[in-house]
């Protein structure tokens, strides 16, 4: 543990997070530096990944015309979350660096600030609050119920769910893997007789959950980015 007790404290998860960041940044830096008009294999992969965010998330949700402004933000969110998640299945790292609440929280705050800024830019501060808290097309008494619900859902539940969904998914995945491989280790080396055979089952389960975690890592990055895009899109439109 470096700088223990200070704000710069570096524990294992933080070190993995920094490592993941450096690897991600280096890979894309190299891809961008070597990028040519006619792509080679590596560039194709990078372009596919970037196009996935640009086309399948930004342009599909926000619309082709206005999506371009938000592509950098959404791309950053997607790849940051993906890199942080994927460390959970990298041998030797073995823990998602998004399984410590700071990271999901920071990403959620970025998303939160983004959709509020977009809303305020589109409608003005008052206009944004009015379209969000007092959606048109309902009789006024409904606002007594609707406004508190909208207030909580938009300004509290959105960032909270973004944070907790990602955090809990990653923690749960890590626990599952630890459970499977821990059990395998115990059954193989500590357990007696026939119980050793059960270790094969837990090992197979651990293998399956590793594959599942790769899928979850990508899925959670996708969901996080998709919801950010949806929130931005909602803020932009008038109700």
Contact positions vs other proteins (CB under 8 A): 3, 6-14, 17-18, 20-21, 24-25, 28-29, 31-33, 35-37, 39, 46-47, 50, 71-73, 75-76, 79-80, 83-84, 94-95, 99-103, 105-107, 110, 164, 167, 171, 174-175, 178, 181-182, 185
In the complex, the smallest distance separating the C-beta of residue 110 from other proteins, rounded to whole angstroms, is: 6
Side-chain-facing half-sphere of 151: CA atoms under 13 Å: 7
CA distances from 72 to 45, 54, 102 (A): 18, 9, 22
Q: Considering the complex, state which of residue 105 and residue 129 has its C-beta at the smaller distance from other proteins.
A: 105
Rg (the chain; Cα; Å): 22
> What are the structure tokens assigned to 129, written together?
């609050």
Report in angstroms how near the CB of residue 195 gets to other proteins at its nearest: 20
Q: Which is nearer to other proteins, 20 or 129 (CB)?
A: 20
CB of 3 or CB of 215, closer to other proteins? 3
Identify which of residues 154 and 163 has a Cβ nearer to other proteins in the complex: 163
Q: Is 28 or 134 the residue whose CB approaches other proteins more closely?
A: 28
Least Å distance, CB 1 to other proteins, is 9
* Least Cβ distance, residue 174 to other proteins (angstroms): 6
Work out how close the CB of 25 gets to other proteins at its nearest, in angstroms, rounded to a whole number.
5
Q: Shortest gap between Cβ of 68 and other proteins (angstroms)?
A: 9
User: Whole-angstrom Cα distance, residue 195 to residue 199?
Assistant: 7
Give the nearer residue to other proteins in terms of CB position, either 6 or 136.
6
Residue closer to other proteins by CB (options 150, 206) is 206
Alpha helices in 87-194 (DSSP H): 102-123, 125-133, 142-152, 158-189
In the chain, count of helices (H) and strands (E)?
9, 0
Query: Given the structure tokens 């570096």, which residue do they identify?
Result: 10
DSSP conformational letter for 2? B
Shortest Cβ distance from residue 32 to other proteins (Å)? 4
In this structure, the number of other CB atoms found within 10 A of the CB of residue 86 comes to: 21
For residue 16, which of 122, 74, 97 has the smallest C-alpha distance? Answer: 97
Spatial neighbors of 165 by CB under 8 A, at least 6 apart, are: 220, 223, 224
Cα 102 from Cα 164, distance rounded (Å):
11
**Gap between the Cα atoms of 16 and 4, Å rounded:** 16
């Amino acid at each position: 543990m470096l700088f223990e007790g200070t704000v710069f404290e570096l524990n294992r998860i933080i070190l993995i997070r920094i490592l993941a960041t450096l690897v991600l940044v280096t890979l894309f830096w190299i891809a961008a530096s070597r990028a040519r008009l006619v792509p080679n294999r590596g560039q194709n992969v990078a372009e596919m990944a970037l196009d996935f965010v640009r086309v399948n998330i930004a342009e599909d949700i926000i619309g082709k015309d206005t999506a371009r402004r938000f592509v950098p933000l959404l791309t950053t969110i997607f790849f940051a979350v993906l890199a942080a998640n994927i460390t959970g299945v990298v041998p030797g790292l073995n823990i998602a660096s998004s399984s410590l609440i700071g990271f999901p929280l920071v990403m959620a705050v970025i998303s939160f600030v983004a959709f509020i800024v977009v809303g305020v830019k589109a409608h003005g501060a008052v206009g944004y609050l009015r379209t969000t808290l007092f959606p048109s097309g309902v009789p006024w008494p409904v606002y007594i119920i609707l406004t508190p619900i909208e207030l909580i859902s938009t300004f509290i539940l959105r960032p909270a769910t973004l944070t907790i969904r990602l955090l809990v998914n990653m923690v749960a995945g890590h626990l599952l893997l630890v459970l499977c491989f821990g059990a395998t280790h115990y059954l193989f080396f500590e357990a007696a007789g026939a119980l050793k055979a059960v270790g094969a089952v837990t090992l197979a389960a651990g293998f399956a959950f590793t594959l599942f975690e790769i899928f979850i890592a990508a899925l959670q990055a996708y969901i996080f980015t998709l919801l950010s895009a949806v929130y931005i899109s909602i803020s932009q439109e008038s109700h």
